Amino acid sequence: MNEQSRLLEQERWRVTAEQSKAESMQRALEEQRKVTAQQMAMERAELERAKSALLEEQKSVMLKCGEERRRLAAEWAEFSAQQKLRAG
């Protein structure tokens, strides 16, 4: 009976140690999950900022292209009118 009690106590110790180890690993995994989620959120926010900046840059370029197109059209119209006057 004494041997059985000793073996039972050893088994309890082993189970307790395993349970403690499992709980510790679970806490570490949960902490890692939180850190990963925070990193992903920061990366997502940075991507959104970059996307917004890119869209603003694209708008600016498109406006400049439109202005340049209008300027060239006006110059071309003026040039054509002068050519007609010279030819006429």
pTM of this structure: 0.60
DSSP alpha helix (H) spans, the chain:
2-87
Residue 84 lies in a domain: no
Render each residue's pLDDT in the chain as its tens digit; 88 residues: 898 999 999 999 999 999 999 999 999 999 999 999 999 999 999 999 999 999 999 999 999 999 999 999 999 999 999 999 998 7
Q: With the C-alpha atoms ordered 64, 70, 76, 78, is the resulting torsion angle positive or negative?
A: negative
Full domain range(s) for residue 4:
1-61
Integer Rg of the chain from CA: 38
pLDDT attached to residue 87: 86
Residue 66 lies in a domain: no
Instruction: Give the separation between CA 72 and CA 48, rounded to whole angstroms.
Output: 36
Residue 8 lies in a domain: yes
